Amino acid sequence: MLQDMISKTVVMEAAEQFKHVLPCTDENIQLLKKALILYRQDSVYRVKPLNGHTVTAYVQDVVPVKVAIDLSDVKKSTCACPAQNTCRHVLAVYLYVYAQYERLGTFTEFWKEAQKQRERHDMLSGQIQRGLNSRTQTLHSWISFFKQEFRRWEEHTPKNQQTMQYLYYGYFSSLKKRTPPEPELKKMYQIHAALATWLAMHTLIEKGRIDPEKDFYSLNPYVEQLMDTIYSSIDELKTYALSFSLDPFLEQTLGVIRELLLKQDIFQYERLRIFGEIWSALLSRPKWLKQELEVLNELKTSPEIQFGRLHLQFLLKNDDVIFEKADTFSPDILPYTFQWLGVMTAKKDWKRLKKWYEHLENLAEGFCRLDKPYREIRDVLSEFFLFLGDYSKNTKDKHIYERYSRKCLPYTFTEYSHFLYNKKRFMEWMEIHSLVGFSISEIGQNALKDIAAAAPEALIPSYHREISELIEQRNRSAYKEAVKYLKKLRTFYKKLKKQDVWNRFMEQLSARHKRLRAFQEELKKGKLIDGES
């Protein structure tokens, strides 16, 4: 275990190093947020301490990467990804390690406080420089500027360079130079500049300059960056008591975000996430919700339109309207419900969540039967169980957690295993480990000690299977290993006061394999049979 090999002092000192390596800049704040996402999505795995200051691990990103962190000098840490400096993968592994010793918030507060100081500075600067303010700027003027700038970018950029890379670093960068200094307007502008760039990408797709299938993986990092810009700007706006002067900007945002929603095919999940987040965080006034619902109801149904309608119904708390249609939903919709589960969990609305988990059971079970790669299904269910676990813990409703865990096996092996172990239901715990192919040698020694002390009968079937498989290998080293396990087995039978059962078993085992001379010799050496047998 980490705590056995690496001291808390070493981990905490590494935190101070990271603060110097990653000063509070917009870029580093985004890097930290990406690392937090990877950590919270359970993407860090196979974490292994090598010595008192070095840890290796793997991080599942677009592709899995191997990371090695040197806690004594974090700048010497390495990652298999192409990044030149400290990357999100190294930071995600460090967050995993840090969380074993201390609350994560303690680590991230440094950047939050530094960011607040920068915002206060920006606010003071904005009060001095009133050249651009809400009275002289409108969303309409911004959008006109965005379109004008895009036309200029197209005219001056060769067609073979009209790619997402040039769009992001050329067009988007030119938009950001016109960002207003006032904090509220600044964040609103950043949201719309990112949306304009996203929509411009679709324009290039429609003109045939970008191939959505061929160029998908090269587009993905830039779409992630745009999403980060939108999310971080929304988070900042949440900290303000939004002034009435922003109402015209917000109301006109309805049409812009609808335009992104109505795009099709590529980055569907990402578009729906942004649509949902902007509506939930900034636009959730009943008047606007009902107004937009009327607009979407008039449009021809598509997966995007269906989600948009459902999301607005969710924000209006018309859950029964959603549940009435639940039987018609494809299981593919499960990941799209996470926005709603996240909102209700954050508000600790356990009563409302109870109904949701009652209606999502068939969807979760159906999702497990989809023809998708194991890792893809596992990643979705892992995130789903974070919400379900929060609900179960706060409501003391363990039955629903167990029910979901059983129905979603084998993808929920980890969750169900932890549940059974914590409940000390060791017989069932050993059964599911055997079902997925775990041998006794692959089960941790601490777990074996706990089970042997509390419920030795749970270990007996697995030891019998292991011994049979070792004997079938027909070699001396396997026979020695089998004898070692036989001695353990003898201890369990003795503890359970079943010595007669043990004696009969040994007589039958010895007789059945009497032709295996090497095995008989090992049994005698281990004093499991006498020389006369």
Could you report the per-residue pLDDT of 348-381, keeping only the tens digit for each?
Answer: 999 999 999 999 999 999 999 999 999 999 999 9
Same domain, 165 and 282: yes
Residue 526's CB: how many other CB atoms inside 10 A?
A: 16
Q: Please give the model's pTM, rounded to 2 decimal places.
A: 0.66
Interval 517-522 mean pLDDT = 90
In a domain, 45, yes or no: yes
Residue 235 pLDDT > 90:
no
CB-based contact 236:118 (threshold 8 Å): no
More confident position, 86 or 532: 86
Q: Residue 411: phi, psi to the nearest 5? A: -70, -20
Interval 276-299 mean pLDDT = 93
The domain in which residue 342 lies consists of 317-423
The Cα–Cα gap between 147 and 174 comes to 12
Give the per-residue SS3 of 53-97: CEEEEEEECCCEEEEEEECCCHHHCEECCCCCCCCHHHHHHHHHH
Interval 410-415 mean pLDDT = 91
Share of the chain above pLDDT 90, in %: 43
Same domain, 221 and 272: yes
Going by C-alpha positions, the residue among 415, 335, 326 that lies closest to residue 380 is: 335
Same domain, 187 and 285: yes
Q: Residue 48: phi, psi to the nearest 5? A: -140, 120
The Cα–Cα gap between 405 and 130 comes to 57
**Tokens, residue 213:** 């299938």
Question: Who's near 533: CB < 8 A, 6+ residues apart?
Answer: 510, 524
By CB atoms closer than 10 A (0-12, 13-18, 19+), residue 438 is middle
- What is the model's pLDDT at position 125? 46
In a domain, 465, yes or no: yes
In a domain, 128, yes or no: no
Domain boundary among 285, 305, 325: 305
- What is the model's pLDDT at position 531? 56
Same domain, 159 and 197: yes
Same domain, 418 and 498: no
Residue 133 pLDDT > 60:
no
How many domains are contained in the chain?
A: 4
124 pLDDT band, cuts 50/70/90, is: very low
Q: What share of the chain is helix, strand, coil (3-state, %, to 5)?
A: 70, 5, 25
Same domain, 88 and 180: no
CB-based contact 202:150 (threshold 8 Å): no
In a domain, 118, yes or no: no
